[in-house]
């Protein structure tokens, strides 16, 4: 799967960020990146069945894991991630780690683009729109907790679109309502339709942040804050195919994979999502994205 020749430029990068500071319930997100990368290297089929291609053989995909970050403050980790991304031209997927790592990607996007031209498409059980986590974290409350990342994105001027939502506080509910943010919730209101989601995204450029708890927990059981319900594998991956083929995806992350060492399904599913994102993006950039 991964290219080991560092002297040639990569077409895509996968960067693991083993950072779990601020996890609120289940632990182990720091083990996510290595487990996902191992699945990509050893378990994933290189044949991509929706396009009948072998993108791993067509393109150079490189991987790395950011080191010496586990003891950093969230602010320091975010700066380090943004700095690493600022030196990469290739399409990049970040692997968390807790959802806080996405703010590093948002900061690097802000350096390259006008944030109002970008929609952060969030697949997540939670809104992550708390101003800080002081309602449940009395010891060391932070505005860079994983429960705050979409609030920070809104403040940074990005447009947002949330999908799979089914757990949030009253403050988050009021914030999203007041700002008229598109929220595609599970089980309340209309059933999710890909057409509706695409229509709610007003920008050409999209950054995709996938908190694996947005999916049904039968697909990603090992995650920090699992919530019943969630989008199906078929819906989520179909959404990604449509979004990537019709819009300009400028980056992505997959976060909150917390392998439990028992069932390998969570890391396998995250590895498959990562390969899907890279495959469709690179085929599209090459003018070769055709679904068979
Ligand atoms: Mn989240």
Quote the tokens at residue 151.
């609030």
What was the pLDDT predicted at 140?
84
The architecture that CATH gives domain 12-285 is 3-Layer(aba) Sandwich (3.40)
Q: What is the mean pLDDT of residues 8-29?
A: 88
pLDDT 10s digits, 240-275: 999 999 999 999 999 999 998 877 999 999 999 999
> Residue 201's pLDDT band (boundaries 50, 70, 90)?
very high
> Residue 173's pLDDT band (boundaries 50, 70, 90)?
very high
The dihedral sign for the CA sequence 62, 68, 70, 75: negative
Q: Is 141's pLDDT higher than 90?
A: no
What was the pLDDT predicted at 291?
97
- Tell me how far the alpha carbon of residue 102 lies from the centroid of ligand 1, in angstroms: 9
Query: Cα separation of 247 and 168, whole Å?
Result: 29
Within 8 A by CB and 6+ apart from 187, the residues are 166, 229
Q: Is 278's pLDDT higher than 90?
A: yes
- Tell me how far the alpha carbon of residue 88 lies from the centroid of ligand 1, in angstroms: 25
What was the pLDDT predicted at 252?
98
pLDDT 10s digits, 23-69: 767 778 899 999 999 999 999 999 999 999 999 999 999 999 999 99
Number of neighbouring beta carbons within 10 Å of residue 34: 15
What was the pLDDT predicted at 57?
96
- Tell me how far the alpha carbon of residue 241 lies from the centroid of ligand 1, in angstroms: 22
CA distances from 200 to 72, 118, 210 (A): 37, 13, 18
- Measured in whole angstroms, how far is the alpha carbon of residue 268 from the centre of its chain? 15
Dihedral of the CA atoms 78, 82, 84, 88 (nearest 10)? 150
The dihedral sign for the CA sequence 30, 10, 50, 164: positive
What was the pLDDT predicted at 8?
86
- Tell me how far the alpha carbon of residue 8 lies from the centroid of ligand 1, in angstroms: 35
Q: Is 5's pLDDT higher than 90?
A: no
- 202-222 burial, b for 16+ CB within 10 Å, e for fewer? ebebbbbbbbbbbbbbebbbb
What was the pLDDT predicted at 6?
82
**pTM to 2 decimal places:** 0.97
- Tell me how far the alpha carbon of residue 211 lies from the centroid of ligand 1, in angstroms: 5
Gyration radius (Cα) of the chain, Å? 17
Domain ranges of the chain: 12-285
What was the pLDDT predicted at 262?
79
Following DSSP, what letter does each residue of the chain receive, concatenated?
-----TTS--SEEEEEE---TT--S---GGGHHHHHHHHHHHTS-SSBTTTTB-HHHHS-EEEEE--S-TTS-HHHHHHHHHHHHHT--SEEEEEESSTTHHHHHHHHHHHHS-GGGEEEEEE-SB----S-STTT--SS--TTSTTSHHHHHHHTT-EEEEEEE-B--HHHHHHHHHTT--EEESSSSSPP-HHHHHHH---SEEEEEEEGGGB-TTTS-SBSS--S--B-HHHHHHHHHHHHHHSEEEEEEEE-B---SS--HHHHHHHHHHHHHHHHHHHHHTT-----
- Tell me how far the alpha carbon of residue 262 lies from the centroid of ligand 1, in angstroms: 23
- Tell me how far the alpha carbon of residue 85 lies from the centroid of ligand 1, in angstroms: 21
> Residue 283's pLDDT band (boundaries 50, 70, 90)?
very high
- Tell me how far the alpha carbon of residue 133 lies from the centroid of ligand 1, in angstroms: 13
- Tell me how far the alpha carbon of residue 5 lies from the centroid of ligand 1, in angstroms: 34
What residues are paired with 253 via a beta bridge? 94, 209
What was the pLDDT predicted at 115?
98
């Amino acid at each position: 799967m991964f290219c080991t020749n560092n002297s040639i430029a990569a077409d895509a990068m996968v960067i693991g960020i083993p950072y779990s500071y601020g996890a609120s319930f289940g632990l182990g997100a720091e083990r996510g990146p290595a487990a996902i990368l191992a699945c990509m290297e050893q378990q994933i089929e290189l044949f991509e069945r929706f396009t009948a291609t072998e993108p791993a053989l067509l393109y150079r995909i490189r991987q790395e894991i950011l080191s010496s970050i586990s003891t950093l403050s969230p602010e320091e980790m975010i700066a380090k991630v943004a700095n690493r991304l600022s030196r990469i031209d290739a399409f990049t997927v970040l692997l968390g780690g807790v959802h806080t790592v996405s703010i590093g990607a948002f900061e690097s996007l802000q350096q390259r683009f006008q944030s109002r031209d970008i929609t952060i498409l969030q697949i997540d059980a939670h809104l992550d729109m708390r101003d800080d986590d002081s309602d449940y974290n009395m010891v060391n409350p932070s505005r860079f907790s994983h429960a705050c990342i979409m609030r920070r994105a809104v403040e940074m001027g990005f447009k947002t679109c949330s999908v799979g939502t089914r757990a949030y506080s009253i403050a988050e509910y009021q914030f999203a309502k007041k700002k008229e943010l598109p929220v595609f919730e599970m089980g309340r209101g209309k059933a999710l339709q890909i057409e509706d989601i695409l229509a709610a995204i007003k920008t050409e450029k999209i950054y995709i942040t996938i908190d694996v708890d947005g999916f049904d927990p039968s697909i990603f059981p090992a995650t920090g804050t699992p919530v019943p319900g969630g989008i199906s594998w078929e819906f989520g991956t179909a959404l990604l195919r449509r979004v990537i083929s019709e819009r300009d995806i400028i980056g992505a992350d997959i976060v909150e994979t917390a392998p439990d060492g028992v069932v390998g399904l969570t890391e396998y599913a995250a590895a498959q999502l990562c390969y899907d994102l890279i495959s469709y993006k690179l085929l599209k950039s090459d003018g070769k994205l055709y679904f068979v």
